[in-house]
Chains A and B, each alone.
Chain A
Amino acid sequence: MVVSLLIALARSFAPHGDAPVDAPVDFARDVQPLLSDRCFKCHGPDEAARKAGLRLDSREAALAPAKSGNVAVVPGDVAASELVARITDANPRKRMPPASSGKELSDAERATIVRWIEQGAKWAGHWAWEAPLAAPLSDVRDAAWCREPLDRFVLARLEHEGLAPSVETDPITLLRRVTLALTGLPPTLDEVDAFVADTSRDAYERVVERLLASPHYGERMALAWLDAARYADSNGFQQDGDTYQWVWRDWLVRALNEDVPQDRLATRLLAGDLLPAATALERLDQQVASGLQRCALLNGEGGAIAEEQRNVLVFDRVDVFATTFLGLTAACAQCHDHKYDPITQRDYYSLFAFWNQVPESGVPPGDGQYRIADPWIQAGTPEQHERLAALETAAREADAAVAAALADPAVANAKSEWDARQREAFAQVELGPWDASTPFVEKSFDAAYDFAAGPDTNRERVAVGIAPAEWIPRPDLVDGVVHPLAGDNTAFFFRRAFHVAAPTTLGLHFGSDDALRVRLDGRLVLERKVTRGAAADQERVQVELRAGAHELVLQIVNRGGPGGFWFEARPAAAPPELTPTLTDALARQASARAERDAMRESLPRVMVMSDAQPRATHVLARGNYEAPLDPVDAAPPAFLPPLPADAPRDRLGLAQWLVAPENPLFARVLVNRAWQQFFGSGLVKTAENLGLQGEAPSHPDLLDWLAVELRTTHGWSMKALHHAIVTSATFRQSSRVDGERGAQLLARDPENRLLARGPRQRLPAMMLRDVALAASGLLVPTIGGKPVYPYQPADIWDGLAITKERDFAYPLSSGTDLWRRSLYTFWRRTVAPGNMFDASARQTCKLRSPVTSTPLHALTLLNDPTWVEAARALAQVALQERQKQLDSNGRQGQQQPQVALRLADLDAPLTLAFRRVVARAPDADELALLRRTVERARASFTADRAAAARLLAVGASPRDATLDATFDAVDHAALTVACLMVLNLDEAQTCE
């Protein structure tokens, strides 16, 4: 009989290697992933895609009759369970899942399902949807091994698997590992020596404290955030305009260094702009934090459809939020209910609504090097804001000086007489109503601005002398009010006829968003190419008018987002030459205002969030912005806890919801990513997906325990979590896999998910460069600031240079900017730095970057001037050290003849260089090999001394010429080659 055969089959496959065949099947670990991966596509949460009315993502549904009347799962009754019949059907065409899906079950997998039903079909909700509870610490046999509570969970699993942990790694390896892990830099030799010499019990503890307090900690921890934030220093796409988002990057580094608790950090990143602030500076700081959500790709391509692009931006923000803060992949639900996780399309657009209120057009406006899209703020350091405040005061004082000058009765009288005359004349001015042209949409801000004055005579005609029929009367545009205008890169023209009875001086006052140009009777009288919001009286010009008819043509050019203009005609403010005092005061007033405005414009313009443009949100059919369906309100996904009752329905409320204890995901996501950073793989390997298609946690109790600890004991302090991890016995294990035990361990657990050994990871390219700079002494450790342009091939941006709109030559930095940490390297979104291999492309949110090994990486580390210069500098440091030794060996004061380094002399500099890179000293065999490299190189350079000179000329750092007094340049070059090999050691590239 079929069923008994099945049961026999079931018994022949145990779920885990040596577990007894009757061992209980674990639904969450063994069955749910199968149902999700193989069945949910057609029998899961997506109602539209569901076949045969069968649903296997909930117990209720699976135990209820399907459309056919059959019941898929009858607990304990294999024969009555239709699911079993269907997955074991002898007819391959009827068997589920269909062969065409490529999702067929293996015999063992079928057996697991059969055994699960046989055992009563125990069901559990997906682990990640339930808030974590602190599990009791696991019982272990070897409790003495454990240093931190977390070790208990790791050891319990190892003991269960019959594995023993690895021995603790040696102190030097441990110090290098923890220093790289927490600061991204190698330990200095002094730090190594001090740690080795320190025999006190808390020596390691104190090292960890020191590293957590280092200002380089924040830089290290920011790296993963930058990938998650798809951070770049330019917008991407065609014009790839630069941005000032580095202000956000600096904010992030500072916040990580200050260990801002994760609940507050997340709130600021998500909703800093919505938080109350006590001071203007605090408000600015919080707004900058929200810049995370504005680090996205922006498409400024001519002809881009703004609303389409705007929707893409909102999709992207939902993706960053779901992936980074929830570990959920929501994007599927853009077009249909999620196939695996219980996120409906409605849920998706309810999330979408949180980000749908931004006053943005969707395309970055403008031209030139920087392209900043609304909304943005003028950031800047407190010092810069102080300076601005000073200039604002100066401008006010200049205004006061004008007022004071007018306090002189003679001056005031003269002026008031003059004013009276002007008023009289002004009363004679007959201003007609405005006429407006149709807007002229151009490819760029510049093009729109140059519209009237451009070389194209065809356009000149249009702009300056639009035929009367093409003007539309706009009597509604009254004076003294800001009139909004809409359209990016658009020129708007306004015309006004007026008449004066007698010769008159007239003051014309304007406000504009953005640029404006004013022509009177065809003559240009004012132009100002700025980007700003429109306000009253931003510009003024005084014009002399003859009696008769005149025509005023106003051109307003909007860069992007909302535009607008303001106008008033007034009697002339002051006669040109009334009194020297007044004239002088007026001049000073003008210059003070100009200085203030220039300062305002020099401040970085950071794109931040704002909810200033409420929009109704609809479900979009297949994600198409042109196909709205039902309206939805902002809300978190329905399968997760609801918004707290008193929370506002905006991003601030969402942040409160995120950090609430009921939220099952946030703390786990943080813990998991921290674990990934230290061990190479998270406790859930799919850090971006804790949903049903994600991988099950290797240590579920540990994940939950740490998540609860983070929220409670640690008070959301990431430094406390990092402290617990790096001081654990788990972290301190040796990463060796040598010998028979190592071979077995590798075969059993190649990815080290069981943690029977310490982590061994190739460093990310950014850190590889930092290690080379630090080891060679070139590193300039300044924190923060504008991005820099270290060595890159001169033509790295050539692919972009075909645009004529701006110069895309690589602006190589000079001086100290060449040796800053890689974090500060300018990241052009369209062309990543050439030596940053395996990096995220910074286009979409990325939480994991697979580490690969290709010949191109080898070429980079062997030939890029960054590493060659570092090798030269490292050799120089080693020689300087050797020189000091020679000097202290009693040769001071004597002029020594230049001597070739003898072989014996090489050991000290080689050892020093080696230690600066990998911390440990080379052994005799390694020294012998390195000496051989030096000897080979010496032979080569002795035969061609010019070649040595060429090698020593690589890089902009000056060479210490005093070395020539002791050492032959050939020796420096030869040692450089050996140092280059040291930087290329596998060990140098690895945190082991």
Chain B
Amino acid sequence: MRVTRRAFLQQSGAGVGLAALHSLLQQEGRCADRNVGPIRTPHFAPKAKRVVVLWQGGAPSHVDLFDPKPGLEALRGSELPESVRSRARLSTMTSAQGRYPILPAIRPFQRYGECGMELSTLLPHTGAIADRLCLVRSLHTEAVNHAPGVTLWMSGSQIPGRPSFGAWTVYGLGSLSSNLPAFVVMTSSDVDKTCGQLFFDHYWGSGFLPSKHQGVRLRAEGDPVLYLADPPGITRELKRGALDDLAALNAKHLAEFGDPEIDTRIAQYELAFKMQASVPELLDLAGEPENVLALYGNDVHREGSFARNCLLARRLLERGVRFVQLMHAGWDQHQNLATQLEVQCRDTDQPSAALVQDLAQRGLLEDTIVLWGGEFGRTVFVQGDVNRRDAHGRDHLGSCFSMWMAGGGFRPGHVHGASDDFAYHPASDPVHVHDLQATLLQQLGFDHTKLTFRHQGRDFRLTDVHGEVVKGIVA
């Protein structure tokens, strides 16, 4: 005898189909809210609906890439004035270094675009989109070490445990997609693994927010999402049938028990089944035209590369993923500036610019924030021996660094703030990490002081108790 769902439900006396049962329960208020739309009302009309973070872990040298100081050539090898140096904390890798000789940018700068933005010639592709960029040269942070620096950037505090920016965003705005997670993370690292920067899952964690808001890591090896693949030997059809039976069993229990959580569970199992199809579809690049692949550069064909992740980021954003966080490690050049800086630029410059262009040509850039940068900057003085070019490096510098934004209502073709003569401290319009976070939230429609979550009796927010919106960087 074959037992159909209808037969079961008739047998069990309900006499209604699953859908009818569901609607019945919904009327009774026992069905979970399946709405995927905004879960909190924005405070302003949002300028941006999506975010993609192109994280450059290890901290790119603003001295060499974004903040030209032609005057430094004349000072090559001379000591960085004590009055400049002593106002900023250094890591213990150089705080006891006896000498602090100045090393000017290792490559020339050049003006790009109609706006004439000065960038290193190591970044020609970024230069080509200069008119779309809003570059901030006066950022600063308290952190002098990587993990606390990244943690501050991602969560507003140097100490792990708070929700990440992405988690706050999806907590505030909800999901736009019914079959992909709202917050997706991808990682990559420099090919030679010289950098040693690690990706901790609290960089995309939900802290004290419900864990459904945490980022889901899309992995380059194995299952792209943990446990996405069906067990060996179980076909899609078999899974479908088994899940139908499971849903019927759970629905029966729901009818008897009445707990709306059961209905939520039924819905999540359906979503999981859908994700098993939508994720592979997302990762299948067969439909991408040659010219688009070429835009991202040759590295796009390498699994797990930053270029590949940039293209996938576009595909995710197109499919309604709210927040995409690409984490690249490679910029911690303490003694290999001469070789690795160029390699990192080669691997990230073209794909970063390609993503901006690709989003623009699809009309997505307008309401997508693209953000490029790392946890801090690097010192103008050399770490190590100034006379040994092949061992040149720079230490961490929290007191001044640069980042760029594109799209999402940020002022295009604009440079905000300036640093002092040594790119060591902001000289005008300083922007703290919390200020930038406040501004990013504003573009997403939120007053950063009001997007809060009560935990331990206190209303926590991304910007802790700090942050001022930076008016000059938004259009």
Whether chains A and B associate is yes
What residues make up the interface of A, taking CB atoms closer than 8 Å to B? 102, 236-238, 240, 297, 299, 301-306, 312, 315-316, 323, 329, 331-332, 339-341, 441, 443, 458, 686, 688-689, 691-694, 735-739, 742-743, 746-747, 760, 762, 793-795, 798-800, 802-805, 830-832, 834-835, 837-838, 841, 843-844, 846, 849-850, 852-860, 862-865, 868, 903, 924-926, 928-933, 935-937, 940-941, 944, 946-954, 973, 977-978, 980-981, 984-987, 989-990, 992
* CB contact between B196 and one of A735, A804, A864 (< 8 Å): that residue: A804
Interface pair A737/B258, CB less than 8 Å apart: yes
Partner-contacting stretch, out of B248-256, B318-326, B431-439: B248-256
| B73 contact set on A, CB distance < 8 A | none
Known A859-B228, A929-B249, A989-B265: A794·B159 in contact at CB below 8 Å: no
Residue on B with the closest CB to A945?
A: B233
Query: With A and B bound together, what is the CA distance between A794 and B223 in angstroms?
Result: 10
| A930 contact set on B, CB distance < 8 A | 245, 249
CB-CB contacts of B231-260 with A at 8 A, as 1s and 0s? 111110111011001101110111111111
Q: Which of A312, A799, A949, A950 counts the most chain B CB atoms within 10 A?
A: A799
Instruction: Tell me whether B44 is interfacial, beta carbon within 8 Å.
Output: no
Between A and B, 22 residue pairs with Cβ closer than 8 Å are A236-B160, A238-B147, A238-B196, A304-B91, A305-B95, A316-B159, A329-B458, A443-B93, A693-B457, A737-B257, A760-B257, A760-B259, A834-B226, A856-B181, A862-B239, A868-B231, A929-B248, A935-B2, A946-B233, A948-B233, A949-B233, A981-B245
* CB contact between A863 and one of B199, B230, B237 (< 8 Å): that residue: B230
Query: With A and B bound together, what is the CA distance between A197 and B111 in angstroms?
Result: 87
Known A925-B12, A936-B238: A843·B161 in contact at CB below 8 Å: yes
Q: How far, in Å, is B445 (CB) from chain A's closest CB? A: 15
Which B residues between 258 and 274 are near A, CB-CB below 8 angstroms?
A: 258-262, 264-266, 268-269, 271-272, 274
Instruction: Tell me whether B36 is interfacial, beta carbon within 8 Å.
Output: no
Query: With A and B bound together, what is the CA distance between A540 and B232 in angstroms?
Result: 61
Query: With A and B bound together, what is the CA distance between A858 and B265 in angstroms?
Result: 8
Besides A303-B144, A930-B249, 13 new A-B residue pairs in contact (Cβ under 8 A), listed by A number: A688-B457, A743-B30, A747-B29, A799-B198, A802-B193, A830-B200, A855-B274, A858-B272, A859-B226, A860-B227, A941-B233, A944-B235, A950-B232
**Interface majority SS on B: helix, strand, loop or mixed?**
loop
Query: With A and B bound together, what is the CA distance between A793 and B225 in angstroms?
Result: 11
| B259 contact set on A, CB distance < 8 A | 735, 737, 760, 992
Q: How far, in Å, is B193 (CB) from chain A's closest CB? A: 5
Instruction: Tell me whether B96 is interfacial, beta carbon within 8 Å.
Output: yes
Residue on A with the closest CB to B43?
A: A102
Query: With A and B bound together, what is the CA distance between A735 and B269 in angstroms?
Result: 23
Interface pair A858/B268, CB less than 8 Å apart: yes
Q: How far, in Å, is A450 (CB) from chain B's closest CB? A: 16
| A933 contact set on B, CB distance < 8 A | 241-242, 245-246
| B269 contact set on A, CB distance < 8 A | 855, 858, 862, 984
| B1 contact set on A, CB distance < 8 A | 903
Q: Which of A240, A692, A850, A858 counts the most chain B CB atoms within 10 A?
A: A858
* CB contact between A804 and one of B148, B193, B261 (< 8 Å): that residue: B193
Interface pair B257/A932, CB less than 8 Å apart: no
Known A102-B450, A855-B272: A928·B257 in contact at CB below 8 Å: no
Residue on B with the closest CB to A693?
A: B457
Interface pair B272/A859, CB less than 8 Å apart: yes
Q: How far, in Å, is B14 (CB) from chain A's closest CB? A: 10
* CB contact between A841 and one of B161, B197, B239, B265 (< 8 Å): that residue: B161
Interface pair A936/B30, CB less than 8 Å apart: no
Q: How far, in Å, is B172 (CB) from chain A's closest CB? A: 14
| A855 contact set on B, CB distance < 8 A | 181, 268-269, 271-272, 274-275
| A844 contact set on B, CB distance < 8 A | 159-161
* CB contact between B8 and one of A928, A980, A989 (< 8 Å): that residue: A928
Query: With A and B bound together, what is the CA distance between A299 and B151 in angstroms?
Result: 13
Q: How far, in Å, is B298 (CB) from chain A's closest CB? A: 22
Query: With A and B bound together, what is the CA distance between A841 and B96 in angstroms?
Result: 35
Query: With A and B bound together, what is the CA distance between A977 and B238 in angstroms?
Result: 9
Interface pair B242/A838, CB less than 8 Å apart: no
Instruction: Tell me whether B361 is interfacial, beta carbon within 8 Å.
Output: no
Q: How far, in Å, is A679 (CB) from chain B's closest CB? A: 15
Interface pair B201/A743, CB less than 8 Å apart: no
Instruction: Tell me whether B28 is interfacial, beta carbon within 8 Å.
Output: yes
Interface pair B202/A738, CB less than 8 Å apart: no
Known A852-B211, A935-B2: A802·B198 in contact at CB below 8 Å: yes
Which B residues between 395 and 429 are near A, CB-CB below 8 angstroms?
A: 395-396
Q: How far, in Å, is A363 (CB) from chain B's closest CB? A: 9
| A954 contact set on B, CB distance < 8 A | 231-232
Partner-contacting stretch, out of B100-108, B117-125, B214-222: B214-222
Instruction: Tell me whether B35 is interfacial, beta carbon within 8 Å.
Output: no
| A951 contact set on B, CB distance < 8 A | 231-234
What residues make up the interface of B, taking CB atoms closer than 8 Å to A? 1-3, 8, 11-12, 28-30, 32, 89, 91-96, 144-148, 159-161, 181, 187, 189, 193, 195-202, 205, 207-208, 210-212, 216, 219, 221-223, 225-235, 237-239, 241-242, 245-246, 248-250, 252-262, 264-266, 268-269, 271-272, 274-276, 329, 385, 395-396, 449-450, 454, 456-458
| A860 contact set on B, CB distance < 8 A | 226-227
| B197 contact set on A, CB distance < 8 A | 238, 802
A-B CB contacts (within 8 Å), total count: 296
Interface pair B242/A977, CB less than 8 Å apart: yes
Interface pair A926/B249, CB less than 8 Å apart: yes
Q: What are the nearest 7 A-B pairs in CB distance? A: A303-B91, A693-B457, A951-B233, A858-B272, A947-B233, A844-B161, A855-B272
Residue on B with the closest CB to A940?
A: B238
Residue on B with the closest CB to A848?
A: B208
| A862 contact set on B, CB distance < 8 A | 227, 230-231, 239, 269, 272
Q: How far, in Å, is B370 (CB) from chain A's closest CB? A: 23
Residue on A with the closest CB to B228?
A: A859
| B160 contact set on A, CB distance < 8 A | 236, 297, 841, 843-844
| A953 contact set on B, CB distance < 8 A | 232
Interface pair B396/A303, CB less than 8 Å apart: yes
* CB contact between A746 and one of B94, B226, B260, B329 (< 8 Å): that residue: B260
Query: With A and B bound together, what is the CA distance between A329 and B249 in angstroms?
Result: 44
Known A305-B144, A844-B160, A951-B234: A984·B246 in contact at CB below 8 Å: yes
Interface pair B211/A837, CB less than 8 Å apart: yes
Query: With A and B bound together, what is the CA distance between A865 and B231 in angstroms?
Result: 7
Interface pair B256/A736, CB less than 8 Å apart: yes
Query: With A and B bound together, what is the CA distance between A980 and B230 in angstroms?
Result: 12
| A686 contact set on B, CB distance < 8 A | 456-457
Query: With A and B bound together, what is the CA distance between A853 and B3 in angstroms?
Result: 30
Residue on B with the closest CB to A793?
A: B222
Known A841-B160, A863-B230, A929-B3: A986·B449 in contact at CB below 8 Å: no
Query: With A and B bound together, what is the CA distance between A397 and B103 in angstroms?
Result: 64
Query: With A and B bound together, what is the CA distance between A561 and B93 in angstroms?
Result: 18
Query: With A and B bound together, what is the CA distance between A614 and B457 in angstroms?
Result: 33
Known A299-B147, A693-B458, A985-B253: A831·B261 in contact at CB below 8 Å: no
Query: With A and B bound together, what is the CA distance between A925 and B395 in angstroms?
Result: 69
| A306 contact set on B, CB distance < 8 A | 92
Interface pair B268/A857, CB less than 8 Å apart: yes
Q: How far, in Å, is A682 (CB) from chain B's closest CB? A: 14
* CB contact between B261 and one of A692, A853, A929 (< 8 Å): that residue: A853
Interface pair A802/B196, CB less than 8 Å apart: yes
Q: How far, in Å, is B264 (CB) from chain A's closest CB? A: 5
Query: With A and B bound together, what is the CA distance between A855 and B269 in angstroms?
Result: 6
Residue on B with the closest CB to A838?
A: B211
| A936 contact set on B, CB distance < 8 A | 238, 241-242, 245
Interface pair B238/A799, CB less than 8 Å apart: no
Residue on A with the closest CB to B188?
A: A802
Query: With A and B bound together, what is the CA distance between A930 and B246 in angstroms?
Result: 8
Query: With A and B bound together, what is the CA distance between A798 and B218 in angstroms?
Result: 13
Query: With A and B bound together, what is the CA distance between A804 and B261 in angstroms?
Result: 46
| B260 contact set on A, CB distance < 8 A | 746
